[in-house]
Amino acid sequence: MRIDGLQYANWSEKIFRQLREGRVDAIHVTIAYHENFRETVLNFEKWNRWFEQYPDLIMKGLQASDIDHARETGRTAVFFGFQNPSPIEDDIGLVEIVHTLGARFMQLTYNNQSLLATGCYEAEDAGITRMGRQVIREMNRVGLVVDMSHSADRSTIEAAEISERPIAITHANPHAWAPALRNKRDAVIRAVTENGGMLGFSVYPHHLKDKSDCTLESFCEMIARTAERYGPEHLGLGTDLCQDQPDSVVEWMRVGRWSKQIDYGEGSASAPGFPPMPAWFRDNRDFDTIEQGLRATGLNAEEVDGIMGGNWYRFFAANFGPAAG
């Protein structure tokens, strides 16, 4: 089973076919960065058209069993998520609405402070806000997973402790391996995994050691060492693949509506666009390469299968439905 915990590609028939060539059974797709509720609904509509146009390649995913159906029918199950809480605006009632529409993940922040928590680019981290605590409780109730991929340290640790259900960091790497602002320190990863949560490893070059020149061996060895430290059952992939996106989309991701200045974030002013992907992972057809690289580290077959998708499957099964009781 192969599950990618995060992608934000410029979707097309070409990419849908590459998903099938790469035998990707399920993906978590970002459908909102800075969009408000109405704009997010339009993105759901766009995906509904794609499901109609390519029914032999993709299908909408709402629960883990949809992945089984996708595998049986040779398709990829698509699960939706937000990289910001902007789709719920300032209305906690919209948490249940977006879950009903099909959202299964929501980051409490992107890089900036939100109404719910602090982003990883802020100088001060005030932790989870009053509204944030209430929203986490509501997300737990309906089955919308708390994602802290772009959140600051204190906020992430508090979210893991406050949430009554496991949370996720869908796309990041250990800070000790590659000290990017977005990567996670030991205390953060420990708080998430000790509470049953998941860490999805990112292939986005700004999150990699040596960036675009990162080797497959370095990436897979990093995963193996993380498995030793926190347990392989809490780990998966969240490639953060942004295939075929124009550079203007990077500006939208990093700037949104909050600034008139272009924030290059972890890039540089001389190269503000998308960085080149490492040679061993260009698109969805390269998951075989990662799997082979993981096997070469000495991880056993069960551990590799879990990281490639089995662990995400169990996490989806436990966390996408309403809370028990």
- How far is residue 157's CA from residue 180's CA, in Å, rounded to a whole number? 18
- How far is residue 189's CA from residue 289's CA, in Å, rounded to a whole number? 26
Buried/exposed 265-302: b ≥16 CB within 10 Å, e otherwise: bbbeeeeeebbebbebbebbbbbebbbebbeebebeee
Place of tokens 């209305």: 91
Contact status, residue 165 vs residue 128, Cβ threshold 8 Å: no
Q: In this predicted model, what pLDDT tens digit does every residue of 19-40 receive, in sequence order? A: 999 999 999 999 999 999 999 9
Q: What angle do CA 248, 3, 121 make, to 5 degrees?
A: 45
Strand partners, 28: 79
Annotate 141-177 with three-state secondary structure: HHCCEEECCCECHHHHHHHHHHCCCCCEECCCCECCC
Mean pLDDT of the chain: 95
List per-residue pLDDT tens for the chain, 325 residues long: 999 999 999 999 999 999 999 999 999 999 999 999 999 999 999 999 999 999 999 999 999 999 999 999 999 999 999 999 999 999 999 999 999 999 999 999 999 999 999 999 999 999 999 999 999 999 999 999 999 999 999 999 999 999 999 999 999 999 999 999 999 999 999 999 999 999 999 999 999 999 999 999 999 999 999 999 999 999 999 999 999 998 888 888 888 888 887 765 554 444 567 899 999 999 999 999 999 999 999 999 999 999 999 999 999 999 999 988 6
pLDDT at 263: 64
Counting residues of the chain whose pLDDT is more than 90, the rounded percentage is: 90
Q: CB-based burial of residue 52 (10 Å sphere; 0-12 exposed, 13-18 middle, 19+ buried)?
A: exposed
**Beta-strand pair 26-32/3-7:** parallel
Contact status, residue 294 vs residue 307, Cβ threshold 8 Å: yes
pLDDT at 91: 98
Domains, the chain: 3-319 (3.20.20.140)
pLDDT at 270: 46
Place of tokens 């995913």: 61
- How far is residue 183's CA from residue 170's CA, in Å, rounded to a whole number? 11
Whole-model pTM: value is: 0.96
